[in-house]
């Protein structure tokens, strides 16, 4: 009878100290299992992306531009699923830019025919814009952000921010439409309406709307991309390291 109290006391003394040990060990093990699971998931995703890139490298064919394919361009195949809608919108805005450049040339031709004293300068500059802006915009800000979301490397984001920033300023310049600058923008459109040159006025209005739509759209997504870039932790130091490691050739490769 005397032994039972001591046995009971011993039981009461040891339980509070013994119980937390397996609990703490279980929590630690659960954390390790979760980290291991995440690591395996990342490795699996990386392997899938590498296999996909290798498949495209081996079997993909240059498909852009359609009339003279020089590069492989496929948002569906190269951009992660979560970012496909954004890159699709950016590409659509680039197509709006391309259409606006064509309309701008047509408007400047009509302005020249209508007898504008600066019609020759407008037409020459508009043709230059069509050739150079369409090409440089694709290479200097669309392709970098396409590569940025495909490879998630800081260097491409900084290229995009720099050159797309200049393009946004250029869009404002083209919206204004100063006579002799190659833009059938707002000022040229108002002059055409005032002189009852209805055809040039309509094309000038279409060009102005086009410059505005692509400019406002790109400004909106510029902010969205900046937020993603910040959240991803990209820095100028990382960009410099990527340039030193991969060099300029990474711009032209899919790996």
Q: Is the pTM of this model over 0.95?
A: no
Contact 239, 155 (CB under 8 A): yes
Q: How confident is the model at residue 54, as a pLDDT? A: 64
Identify the domain containing residue 58 by its residue range: 36-73
- Residue-wise pLDDT for 191-229, tens only, equals 999 988 899 999 999 999 999 999 999 999 999 999 999
3-state secondary structure of 48: helix
Q: Which is more confident, 81 or 55? A: 81
Domain boundary at 45, 73, 101, which?
Answer: 73
Helix, strand, coil percentages, rounded to 5, for the chain: 80, 0, 20
Residues 50 and 99 in one domain: no
Which secondary structure element, helix H or strand E, spans residue 53, and what is its range? Answer: helix 20-59
Q: Indicate whether 90 belongs to any domain.
A: yes
Phi, psi of 74 (to 5 degrees): -150, 100
Task: Please name every residue paired with 71 in a beta bridge, in sequence order, or none if there are none.
Answer: 64
| pLDDT of 238 higher than 70 | yes
Residues 167 and 43 in one domain: no
- Report how far residue 155's alpha carbon sits from residue 144's, in angstroms, rounded to the nearest whole number: 8
Q: How confident is the model at residue 45 (pLDDT cuts 50, 70, 90)?
A: low
Structurally, how many domains does the chain consist of? 2
The residue behind tokens 């040229």 is 188
Token code pair at residue 6: 């001591």
Mean pLDDT of the chain: 86
Contact 170, 104 (CB under 8 A): no
Contact 100, 210 (CB under 8 A): yes
**239 CB neighbour count, 10 Å cutoff:** 17
Token code pair at residue 114: 């209508």
Residues 216 and 105 in one domain: yes
Q: How confident is the model at residue 250 (pLDDT cuts 50, 70, 90)?
A: low
Residues 165 and 215 in one domain: yes
- Report how far residue 200's alpha carbon sits from residue 42's, in angstroms, rounded to the nearest whole number: 57
The residue count of the chain comes to: 255
Q: How confident is the model at residue 9 (pLDDT cuts 50, 70, 90)?
A: very low
Q: How confident is the model at residue 43, as a pLDDT? A: 74
Q: Indicate whether 60 belongs to any domain.
A: yes
- Residue-wise pLDDT for 112-150, tens only, equals 998 889 999 999 999 999 999 999 999 999 999 999 999
Contact 79, 150 (CB under 8 A): yes
- Report how far residue 181's alpha carbon sits from residue 167's, in angstroms, rounded to the nearest whole number: 16
- Residue-wise pLDDT for 157-187, tens only, equals 999 999 999 999 999 999 999 999 999 999 9
Q: How confident is the model at residue 53, as a pLDDT? A: 64
Instruction: Say if residue 254 is exposed, middle or buried (CB neighbours under 10 Å; 0-12, 13-18, 19+).
Output: middle
């Amino acid at each position: 009878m005397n032994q039972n109290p001591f046995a009971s006391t011993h039981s009461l003394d040891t339980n509070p100290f013994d119980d937390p040990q397996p609990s703490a060990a279980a929590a630690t093990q659960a954390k390790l299992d979760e980290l291991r699971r995440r690591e395996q998931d990342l490795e699996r995703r990386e392997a899938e992306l590498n296999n996909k890139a290798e498949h495209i490298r081996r079997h993909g064919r240059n498909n852009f531009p359609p009339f003279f394919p020089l590069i492989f361009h496929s948002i569906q195949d190269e951009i992660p699923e979560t970012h496909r809608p954004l890159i699709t919108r950016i590409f659509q805005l680039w197509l709006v830019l391309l259409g606006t450049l064509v309309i701008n040339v047509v408007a400047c031709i009509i302005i020249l025919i209508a007898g504008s004293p600066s019609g020759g300068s407008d037409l020459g500059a508009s043709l230059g814009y069509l050739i150079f802006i369409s090409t440089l915009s694709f290479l200097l800000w669309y392709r970098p952000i396409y590569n940025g979301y495909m490879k998630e490397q800081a260097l491409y984001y900084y290229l995009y921010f720099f050159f797309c920033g200049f393009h946004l300023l250029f869009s404002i310049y083209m919206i204004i439409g100063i006579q002799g600058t190659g833009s059938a923008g707002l000022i040229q459109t108002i002059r055409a309406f005032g002189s009852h040159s209805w055809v040039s006025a309509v094309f000038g209005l279409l060009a102005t709307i086009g410059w505005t739509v692509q400019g406002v759209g790109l400004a909106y997504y510029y902010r969205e991309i900046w937020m993603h870039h910040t959240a991803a932790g990209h820095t100028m130091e990382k960009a410099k390291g990527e340039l030193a490691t991969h060099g300029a050739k990474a711009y032209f490769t899919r790996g």
